[in-house]
Amino acid sequence: MAFSFLPELLVISILMLLVFASLYIKCTRSTNSLSPPLDWPIVGILPALVVNVHRIHDYMATVLTSTGNSFMAPVASIMRFFVTCDPANVQHIFTSNHANYPKGEDFAQIFDVTSGSLFTADGESSRRLRARHQSVLSSPRLLASMAKCCRDKLEKGLVPFMARVATTGAPVDMNDLVTRLVFDLYATAVLGVDPCRLSLLDMPPLQVADAMDTVMEVGFVRHIVPPFCWKLMRLLMVGPERRLAAAQGVLRRFTMEMVERRRKTAGSNIGPRLEATTASSSIDDDVLSNYVNDPEYYENGDHLLQATLILYMIAGRDTIGTTLPWVFYNLAKNPHVVSGIRKELEPIASGKAAAFLASSCIFEPEELKALVYLQAAILESLRLYPPIPIERKTVVSSDVMPSGHEVRAGDIVLVSIYSMGRMEDLWGPDCREYRPERWLSEDGGKLRHVPSHKFMAFNSGPRMCIGKDIAISQMKTIVAAVVWNFDVEALDRQEAVEPKLSCLLQMKQGLKLKVQKRQM
């Protein structure tokens, strides 16, 4: 029994030999080839994925362009992937025939730390959980608390810190800064605690935030390798699976500690505290208070409650925290867009009288609601750099796509949202350029409507992102504060900005920018 995994090890050895052969062939070919990946015996296109994994999203966009926006990709002979960025296929998968394309059991296993939550649920369970989430996120009290927290973090944290950095002339890593800011926002909104990570920039990274990153990085590995490979690694507790097990332990312990503290303070108006922190909301103003006493969530060892809290943290922090660095990256490279945003903000800022002349100006969400160019700048970043670059579905029954491709029961469908933003027939010949104007009506006064099956940054169909409006509002508030108060520019020596190997499109080496206080 102790050596029952030897057959799998033999298969892995053969697979590695084929990968090395593929590497050799790749090196002898032109790197500009637009041909589809080679379909090897046994391992399918896995060698091509390994060779191009460092640029997987651009590689997938190239292949999809050469194959008419869809192709069938066998992997390791036991798996068949249908890869597409065709809007007609997307509408079929996510809306017209969505019941035939659930996330599936494999997806639930890949993200087992959130198993049972809305993130991994399908069918009736998904509809029931979604209704509960919608009820929580529509609470006026919670929304007001989140807006206040965002404003406080900008006024007392982000803006003063950037002002101090500006006086030193030292570059700032906007990726790290934004990640800390958004982690604080969502720890407060979800758990009622403020880790004050934004204020502790000289301290080591918070273990919980690192654990969340690990879940997404190892989840990426689980997506692209055959299940028996990562399950074998999990059994042996080696490689990325060892890191993931440690990360899951961190997240479960953290959420359980928050739950236990909340239960001990039940009936008190003072929320739980982390050491050396100050919570900015009462226990009635956060997500946890809506679930902590619900028997459906705390029975069975609190598993569902933990999974739900982890989901809220990931959904909030990772979506906004991943998007904003790309927004600032694009703004740093396009000063004319910054000028356009400031022109739109000027009437609001001038109406603030003293604030207009003060050292800094913070905008309220309601003040920014009607600003279309600011929102267009954010949507354009989401088009080019969607926080979740790939969506995965499982085929229940054999079907024919609008593109004519046949899929079989058990096939895996991958929708490349990253590639969709680079489709010339959808966005025009300048589809790879950052141009917010493409989102505006001809007179520039309104946002142009783009159906969700053509712009998938917030998903589509019955699984449309519940927190879309919250996310856009918070991003507009943060971007407006930075753009109005500071000039940011990319460093000449800044290395090429590349995404991590993760289920999220996070920046690999951060984003170093030069910050200067804006002269009004």
pLDDT of 140: 93
Place of tokens 């267009």: 376
Give the DSSP letter string of 74-87: EETTTEEEEEE--H
Burial pattern 295-319, b for ≥16 Cβ within 10 A else e, equals eebbeeebebbbbbbbbbbbbbbbb
Q: What count of residues does the chain have?
A: 520
pLDDT of 37: 64
pLDDT of 284: 58
pLDDT of 496: 74
pLDDT of 354: 53
Torsion region of 510: left, alpha or beta (phi above 0 gives left; psi -120 to 50 gives alpha): left
Q: Which residues contact 318 (CB under 8 A, 6 or more apart)?
A: 212, 216, 387, 504
Between strands 399-400 and 512-517, the pairing is unpaired
Angle, helices 227-236 vs 6-28, to 10°: value is: 120
**CA–CA separation, 67 and 46 (whole Å):** 18
* Residue 248: strand, helix, or coil: helix
Rounded to 5°, the CA angle 496-376-91 comes to 90
Angle, helices 174-191 vs 207-224, to 10°: value is: 100
What phi, psi does 400 have (nearest 5°)?
-120, 125
pLDDT of 79: 73
List per-residue pLDDT tens for the chain, 520 residues long.
443 434 444 445 445 545 545 544 444 444 444 456 655 555 556 666 667 778 889 999 999 998 999 998 776 556 788 999 999 999 999 999 999 999 999 999 999 999 999 999 999 999 999 999 999 999 999 999 999 999 999 999 999 999 999 999 889 999 999 999 999 999 999 998 887 766 655 444 568 889 999 999 999 999 878 788 899 999 999 999 999 999 999 999 999 998 988 888 765 443 333 333 334 444 458 999 999 888 888 776 788 999 999 999 998 888 899 999 999 999 999 999 999 999 999 999 988 755 545 568 999 999 999 999 999 999 999 999 999 999 999 999 999 999 999 999 999 999 999 999 999 999 999 999 999 999 999 988 899 999 999 999 999 999 999 999 999 999 999 999 999 999 999 887 666 788 998 999 999 888 999 999 988 7
Tokens of 444: 């520039």
**CA–CA separation, 505 and 387 (whole Å):** 5
DSSP 157: I
For 130, counting Cβ atoms within 10 Å of its Cβ (0-12 exposed, 13-18 middle, 19+ buried), the class is middle
Longest dimension (CA), the chain: 77
**390: closest CA among 127, 49, 34?**
49
Binding site per annotation, positions:
465
CA 284 centroid distance within chain: 27
**Which domains are present in the chain?**
101-386+421-517 (1.10.630.10)
Between strands 79-84 and 412-416, the pairing is parallel
**CA–CA separation, 221 and 442 (whole Å):** 44
Tokens of 109: 């296993």
For 189, counting Cβ atoms within 10 Å of its Cβ (0-12 exposed, 13-18 middle, 19+ buried), the class is buried
Binding site per annotation, positions for heme:
465
**CA–CA separation, 311 and 31 (whole Å):** 39
